[in-house]
Chain A
């Protein structure tokens, strides 16, 4: 009887092998091959792409991790109070509307929303226009094509992924524990640090993973908002698979990026385990 289970899983296994394991293997093999005419991978094997990934391109890798980390932190700082605000509304309808507002942006294409930020941040954009007309600044601020613009775009795009898991955690949180902590002499700060935060940590960790991992590999946002100063590893990889690219280099960069993601996932799993054991 148990053997039937294998057949049931077969379509999934086939799907995973064809669309996940094989492409991954191809990328892995490509990353060790040389660049041929038109950017294709040819023999012999070489380590030069990895040397470049950790050499001239290291600064971009660093920037990607840095921006992704910063995005995660800002999302956490904004998302935690937001999730708390939503889940502590007394009236159900208020909770539903605010949650709906968080999810609403998903109804529009991400590309279009990111383009909208170009209009907001541009030299003759909305933000500069308002500031200029109010006389707060005398010449347009360079907002677009900066790392700040990328950060704003990433935070904007990924905030729901932080807010929603935290919301789920806070929703389950029993506020009687706050009474109990106060009762035992803990002020608001200590109550938060010793009771509220530890008990909502699973949501925080899940949110961080959901924001950090896609942020590292983001390429639409930095492409549209970052210009050359905001270039991230995702853009670099994207470029290598284009017309005059370098597929082996792109593959090597992909593998490095996956390693970064993998490490952060391991940190997540480890932190979660410790949380569960504690």
Chain B
């Protein structure tokens, strides 16, 4: 039997709010492997922070089990769990110096002062913040405080490090730098990271696997690529990146996991079925990413994809241009298809191609591979 670093087994957490119980976590199960960078992603109030707090031991589940390294955590207080947390607001003790903050956790383990001081200084070196040990937290910048919080948690060499939106308070540039640094640090120390964020880009950049949460439920768990390219639900497709949704009716399904969908204008397209698709026919939604759509009048041609249009291995639709927007790396087009719905198409700007060569109202064809489009429950 494989033991996971953290196992959540059918966790439920109810809170009392104004006399009414509110379900913050709704039957959540997940297995997180040793050394994995696991992101809990979702909008605020989706239950991701509560899930983290249940693992840390700050909250007790209403039902279900938390296992850490195979051990049931029921009745084990936070201070006896082999996990450490980097809090959203860092929660550095304001009355202690940086060094004392980092030594705090070691002293609770009974490490003597000399050894604790040595390890604190090593840990400050690790987060590349030497020479601030004597300062008080309020004398540091937000980014420095973030590193101290990281050092304070990592110095305990936990089995699992829990991070609650640790980069949320930093400005954009620093946040992007810290993303790479955190990822590199995680690779170096080899500790399992469970990382709570509402920022999908952050999750995609850093995580080995992402669990997307909404309204207390874990909707989908998978690698960033799986989550982005094959969202299981409308919510996941919509929450992660930009997506076009086209309404249609599912006609049939084939053995390869594809189905044919009839759109409102009677045209029929082929698309991959989502893993969790419930409907065997009837009303569905087809999701397609803007950058997966090609425009025929630009240099992209269906033939360039190396497949035969007539064989049905490419989806081809008539469209006309409604609007175009230059956004730096890409040009973002709004196009109208036969069923009168508008889709967004993104085409990369390159030196060989003039993306401004099409005019509003101009007809052309748009195309994509069926495997790029996903059929979802409506």
Contact = CB atoms under 8 A, between A and B. Distances in A.
B79 A183 contact: yes
Contacts of B85: 179-180, 183
A182 B91 contact: no
B42 interface: no
B93 A195 contact: yes
Nearest to B102: A184
A4 interface: no
Could you tell me the dominant secondary structure of chain A's interface residues? Answer: helix
For B84, B91, B153, the residue with the greatest tally of chain A CB atoms inside 10 Å of its CB is B91
A100 B141 CA distance: 41
Given A174-B91, A180-B92, 8 more contacts: A179-B78, A179-B91, A181-B104, A183-B83, A184-B104, A185-B80, A187-B77, A194-B104
Contacts of B152: 184
17 contacts: A176-B87, A176-B91, A177-B91, A177-B93, A179-B56, A181-B93, A182-B78, A183-B58, A183-B78, A183-B153, A184-B84, A184-B105, A184-B108, A185-B79, A199-B93, A199-B94, A199-B95
A180 B85 CA distance: 8
Contacts of A136: none
Interface in A174-222: 174, 176-177, 179-187, 190, 194-195, 198-199
A180 B109 CA distance: 15
Interface string B68-101: 0000000001111001110101011111000000
A187 B79 contact: yes
B91 A180 contact: yes
Interface residues of B, number: 24
Contact of A278 (B56, B95, B109): B95
B79 A186 contact: yes
Closest CB pairs A-B (n = 7): A184-B105, A185-B108, A180-B91, A182-B78, A176-B91, A183-B85, A182-B79
Contacts of A180: 85, 87, 91-93
B260 interface: no
A179 B87 contact: yes
Interface of B: 56-58, 77-80, 83-85, 87, 89, 91-95, 104-105, 108-109, 152-153, 156
Contacts of A179: 56, 58, 78, 85, 87, 91
B139 to A, nearest CB: 14
A185 B58 contact: no
B56 A186 contact: no
A84 B344 CA distance: 56
Given A176-B91, A195-B93, A182 B109 contact: no
A182 B91 CA distance: 12
Contact of A182 (B57, B89, B153): B57
A185 B80 CA distance: 6
A181 B78 CA distance: 9
Contacts of A199: 93-95
A82 B310 CA distance: 81
Contact of B109 (A177, A185, A187, A198): A185
Contact of A176 (B56, B83, B84, B89): B89
Nearest to A199: B95
B95 A198 contact: yes
Nearest to B58: A179
B77 to A, nearest CB: 7
B129 to A, nearest CB: 18
A181 B109 CA distance: 12
Nearest to B56: A183
A182 B58 contact: yes
A185 B156 contact: yes
A81 B58 CA distance: 22
A184 B153 CA distance: 7
For A174, A179, A190, A198, the residue with the greatest tally of chain B CB atoms inside 10 Å of its CB is A179
Contacts of B58: 179, 182-183
B144 to A, nearest CB: 17
Contacts of B87: 176, 179-180
